[in-house]
Amino acid sequence: MTPLAFAALSLASPWARAQTAPAANGNVLPAVTVSGANDADATTEGSGTYAAKQATIGGKVAQSIKETPNSVSVLTRQQMDDQNVTTIQDALRYVTGVSSIDYGDGTAYFRARGSQLGIEFDGVPTLSGLQYQLQFDLAMYDRVEIMRGPAGSIDGMGEPGGVVNLVRKRPQDQFHLSTETQVDSFGSVRQMIDVTGPLNKDGTLRGRAVLVGSDGTQSIDRTRSKEVMAYGALDWDLTPRTTLSLSGGYQVSPISGIDYGAGGVLNSTRTALTGRVPSSFTQNFSPSWNYAYTSLQEGNANLVHRFENDWQSSTTLFYRHELSKAYYAYSGPGATANGLALYGDQRQRTSYDWFGADSNVSGPIHLFGRTHTLTIGANYSVMTSSAQSGYLALSGPYGGAFSLYDPNAVPAVDVPYTFGTNHRTVQYGVYAQARIKLADPLTLVLGGREAFLQDRTQSTLPSVGDWTTNAQINHRFLPSAGLLWDIVPSITAYANYARFLDAQTESTYSGAGLPPRSGEQYEVGVKGSFLNGRLNANAALFRIDDNNRAVADPAHQYYYVSAGKARDQGVELEVTGQPMPDWNVYAGYTYLNAHYENDSPDLTDGTDPKHLFKLWTKYTFSRGTLRGFSVGGGMLAQTRISRGVEQGGYAIFNAQIGYRFNKHVEASLQLNNVFNREYYIRPPSTYYSVFGDTRNVMLTVRSDF
């Protein structure tokens, strides 16, 4: 690039400030000094890299990942596109240290560091909004942020595994239209359209719309899923310093032929079904009339004001409604070695409502010749649900059982609602976080939250009962502390400490509720940012002590005592970004050692692998004979897990080749599970199991205008 071209580009940048000196003569260009303002936006769209420089999950404002004293991963828009992931379970499956386990009905559960993960939507904590809950198609999100370890000082009470933050796409200030068409060998078709740009002449009003439609079968025989999703967003600059953002989403997701799998063989060794069952790792153990339907609607409003003294206030309101209906038959408990099992028909209907509010102010404080940062805020979240269900055991032709070879012999009968309950959980609190600059290389990060929580239920069937308080927690302080040491400009060492609380709703024999689970995490690590921020690396050691866990009362069946303890400790390694300009890579390894005292792993969720490795990489040829081509691939490898039946260690490999025809159109062909490894992603217990997808091919065509 010539000096003249560089100067022109620099002066054209909206973030550049230029000062020109008088020219000595007409043949000499004026000297140009360019200083760029730090971009406080953590948006990854259009970055072209897997290395996010900032994230909002460690606090309420965008912060450098290297300067965050926690283990943070970011799945950027570029990586999601390269891997062709469209669901939250596929996205988190390739995140360092996270176990993503399908449940069979379009939902999943997620674990890290031996415990479940919580969720935020654009930084607003949402109670019970992730586990076993259907999520919107990922086309509406810019990035997925993950922080492993307790997040109580900002988010509130919850399990210590960590938290996921789903950050929505925002309207852009220039017109842009993109499409995405996907066809796979299972017979599925998916179409996405995304359009954004200014809506008035001066660009103070910007809009965005994303539409998705899909239809097709899945790896499991006879399972067919459909989806229609619409997302709209508006950004309105009320003043040069004040922006109002509004967004809304709607999605319907019907699934026919849903299958929850088969349980293990009921024998002394609890083995998986053998012989002809499963006859293949695509077998559906449920009748074809099984059906589920879920609809999602949400609205979000955010008001941001940027003060002249570099302080900023942000207030967000969030609402989501979900309606879930299902009618299905499933087998269990267990099965015989020759494939006979009891079946029952179940009918259920559940509605959920989530509301969340978060308001905070953040900005610099100048003391003792240094600049510090303070964030103060408060948030409130409530989850209410109303559920009805009914179950009817069936009598089959084989001594009351049915054959798992012939699930369509299971009849669909009228199942009335016989059980109903209302549920309401409220959590609120005030929080603060201070980043104190102790010296040029040392930063102390202190956080704290005064937390409140109430959990209540009410029986509605077979009769309406009074509301019962299952958990009530008031004025509990959740602290956190972190220390950052910038060893050199590119490498930072850190240490952190955080306490957590998690409400428990089990009852003791005396009728009293259990005290909350409590404990703390200790973590040390080293982070690096290299090649001008294009490559990030992280190594961490962690230990989580988890106390007062609910365990069965040995003296009173169906009751509990808070006598369980667990210690989860391990190592995490992660490298993400661009080692070379045309090469993107994401690699993560986790070692987890879980120890239980007077307790055991939760077999409902399944145990966590001791070793877990994730990799995805893509190289694009930008010159030479192969210009326009790209090659990529990845793998997921883990050691054994068990839910009663053991799934041995396995590795899954994926490969991809792509070609960019011009600046507007590109296509890729991806082969998943290259070696057709047969495995359980959720091994059997007394009930349920889920197979991993068999080998499949996906063609993706994208256009940008």
Give the pLDDT confidence of 390-444 residue by residue, as tens digits: 999 999 999 999 999 899 999 999 999 999 999 999 999 999 999 999 999 999 9
What is the rounded CA–CA span in Å between residue 343 and residue 392?
Answer: 9
| Residue 612: CB atoms within 10 Å | 23
Residue 34 has pLDDT above 70, yes or no: no
pLDDT, tens only, 442-461: 999 999 999 999 999 999 99
Long-range contacts of 210-215 (CB under 8 A, 24+ apart): 210/139, 210/140, 210/169, 212/137, 212/139, 214/86, 214/182, 214/188, 214/189, 214/190, 215/188, 215/189
Per-residue pLDDT band for 15 (boundaries 50, 70, 90) equals very low
Lowest average pLDDT, out of 35-49, 110-124, 140-154, goes to: 35-49
- pLDDT for 28: 39
Handedness of CA 408, 410, 416, 420 (dihedral sign): negative
Strands (E), 368-466: 370-393, 402-403, 419-439, 442-461
Residue 57, phi-psi category: left (phi > 0), alpha (psi -120 to 50), beta (remainder): alpha
**SS3 category, 95:** coil
| Main-chain phi, psi angles of 619, to 5 degrees | -120, 130
At residue 83's C-alpha, the angle toward residues 79 and 86, to 5°, is: 95
Cβ-in-10-Å burial (0-12, 13-18, 19+) of 506 comes to middle
Please give the average per-residue pLDDT across 161-169, as a whole number.
97
User: Quick check: 4 pLDDT over 60?
Assistant: no
Residue 179's CB is within 10 A of a number of other CB atoms, namely: 16
Per-residue pLDDT of 95-129, as tens digits, reads: 999 999 998 888 999 999 999 999 999 999 999 99
Question: Percentage of the chain with pLDDT > 70?
Answer: 92
Taking the C-alpha atoms of residue 173 and residue 196, their distance in angstroms, rounded to an integer, is: 8
Dihedral angle sign, alpha carbons of residues 537, 637, 56, 577: positive
**From the CB of residue 191, how many other CB atoms can be counted at a distance below 10 Å?**
14
Report the Cα 629 to chain-centroid distance in Å: 31
Rg value, the chain, Cα: 27
Torsion angle defined by CA atoms of residues 526, 68, 84 and 195, in that order, rounded to the nearest 10 degrees: -150
Domain boundaries, the chain: 168-704
Residue-level pLDDT at 691: 93
The amino acid at 336: T
Q: What is the 3-state secondary structure (H, E, C) of 631-691?
A: EEEEEEEECCEECCCEECCEEEEEEEEEEECCCCEEEEEEEECCCCCCCEEECCCCCCCEE
DSSP label of 409: G
Question: What would the pLDDT profile of 645-672 be if each residue is shown by its tens digit?
Answer: 889 999 999 999 999 999 999 999 999 9
CATH of region 168-704, choose from 1.10.1740.10, 3.90.550.10, 3.40.50.620, 2.40.170.20 = 2.40.170.20
Q: What CA–CA distance (Å, rounded) separates 548 from 568?
A: 15
Q: How many residues does the chain have?
A: 705
Contact 494, 525 (CB under 8 A): yes
Lowest mean pLDDT among 514-518, 524-528, 575-579, 609-613: 514-518
- Beta strands 162-168 and 115-121: pairing type? parallel
- Distance (Å, whole) CA 617 – CA 622: 16
268 pLDDT higher than 80? no
Backbone angles phi, psi at 26, to 5 degrees: -70, -10
Answer whether residue 59 shows pLDDT above 60.
yes
CA nearest 110: which of 82, 144, 76?
A: 144
CA distance 542 to 557: 36
- pLDDT above 90 (res 200): yes
Any idea which of 125-134, 267-276, 456-465 has the lowest mean pLDDT?
267-276
Helices (H) and strands (E) in the chain, counts: 4, 39
Q: Are 365 and 371 in contact (CB under 8 A)?
A: yes
Contact predicate 473/503, CB 8 Å: yes
Phi-psi region of 400 (alpha: psi -120 to 50; beta: other; left: phi over 0): left
- Residue 464: pLDDT band (50, 70, 90) is very high
Instruction: Report whether the peptide linkage leading into residue 240 is cis, meaning its omega lies within 30 degrees of zero.
Output: no
Which of the four pLDDT bands, split at 50, 70 and 90, describes residue 269? low
Best CA proximity match to 548, nearest among 510, 500, 594: 500
Residues 567-577, mean pLDDT to the nearest whole number: 97
What pLDDT does residue 267 have?
A: 73
Dmax (CA) of the chain: 103
Task: Please determine, for residue 274, whether its predicted confidence score (pLDDT) is greater than 60.
Answer: no
Residue 9: half-sphere exposure toward Cβ, Cα within 13 Å = 6
